[in-house]
Amino acid sequence: MRFVIGDIHGEISKLRLLIKYIFTLDKDPEFIFIGDYLDKGEDPLAVIKFLTDLNKNYQCTFLYGNHEFIWMNLEPHDVKMREYLSKYGGYATLKSLRMNDFEVGKDKLLTDYADFFASLRPYWKDDLFVAVHSGISPENYSIDIENIPLQQLLFNRYEFIKHEELYMGHYRLIFGHTGFFTPFVSSTKLGIDTAACFLPGQPLSAFCIEKSGMINSESNFKGLEDFNDNCCPNIIRTNPWRYDN
């Protein structure tokens, strides 16, 4: 079975619990990760190490998140990107690396885990679903995703969430980036970022395609039919609970 996993943001303990639960459902699963492995949470470096090892034994697809994009495109003296990392949890990654400089941290990440970062993809798709980090802007709904620039797939939020239409008239979109208290479920999209890094009680969630349901790191399963259509829980807008910078 295939499992699409939401934003991790360094939450290694919750990730281990979720993967352990997935193995009780399927001994040989396929994983699609929606991006945002770094920043904000418990131990971002441990997450990268864990995913690298997981990929050695199981089929894994790793999508770009906006946080990976920022780290990978950070240039010396780039004030704007340094400010972004400072504001949105980059110090958690530096702490995990035991470093205090963003450029040095970037060099270590891209050197020690070059294969992982080189494997990042803009999107994943099958006959019914497209998985992409932040969704797709409504103005791009008629454009094949192969022709949408990467950066336009990483920072979408409210206009996309409000837009109720199948992408290309066919695909249901699976997205992360925006944290919800419970998964966002509508007839046209599935939001699987349940803000694991923001509150201690928030789980890490995933969508199981073959079981047509949501699972999480607390070993819960809920079929899509049990969600209210167009459900939009309150979005968590707070500092990550572990983040002290």
Give one DSSP letter per residue of 165-188, joined into a string.
S-BTTTBEEEE-SS-BSS-EE-SS
Query: pLDDT tens digits, residue range 90-106?
Result: 999 999 999 999 999 99
pLDDT at 183 over 60: yes
CATH topology for 2-125+177-226 is Purple Acid Phosphatase; chain A, domain 2 (3.60.21)
Using DSSP bridges, classify how beta strands 30-33 and 2-5 pair: parallel, antiparallel or unpaired.
parallel
| Rounded-to-integer distance, Cα 8 and Cα 224, Å | 22
The closest alpha carbon to 37, from 25, 49, 29, 28, belongs to 49
More confident residue, 200 or 234: 200
pLDDT band of 239, cuts 50, 70, 90: confident
Cβ-count burial of 225 within 10 angstroms (0-12 exposed, 13-18 middle, 19+ buried)? exposed
Strand runs (DSSP E) across 121-212, as ranges? 123-125, 129-132, 172-175, 184-185, 189-191, 205-208
Strand locations in the chain (E): 2-5, 30-33, 59-62, 123-125, 129-132, 172-175, 184-185, 189-191, 205-208, 213-216, 221-223
Residues 6 or more apart in contact with residue 189 via CB below 8 angstroms: 135, 161, 172, 173, 174, 175
Closest CA to 116 of 49, 18, 40, 172: 49
Structure confidence at residue 109 as a pLDDT band (50, 70, 90)? very high
136-145: b or e for each residue (b if 16 or more CB lie within 10 Å)? bbeebbeeeb
Where exactly are the structural domains of the chain?
2-125+177-226
Query: Parallel, antiparallel, or unpaired for β 172-175 and 184-185?
Result: unpaired
Report pLDDT digits (tens) over 126-153: 999 999 999 999 999 999 999 999 999 9
What's the pLDDT tens digit per position in 42-91?
Answer: 999 999 999 999 999 999 999 999 999 999 999 988 899 899 999 999 99
Computed over every residue of the chain, the mean pLDDT equals: 94
Q: How far is CA 68 from CA 14, 38, 59, 109, 118, in A?
A: 20, 7, 21, 10, 11
Question: How many Cβ atoms sit within 10 Å of the Cβ of residue 83?
Answer: 11
Query: What length is written for the chain?
Result: 245
The burial of 162, by beta-carbon neighbours within 10 Å (0-12 exposed, 13-18 middle, 19 or more buried), is given as exposed
pLDDT confidence band for 235 (50 / 70 / 90): low
Q: What is the mean pLDDT of residues 157-161?
A: 94
pLDDT of residue 233: 59
For residue 190, how far is the Cα from the chain centroid? 13
Average pLDDT estimate for 184-208: 95
Rounded CA gap, 148 and 93, in Å? 29
Q: Is the pLDDT of residue 121 over 90?
A: yes
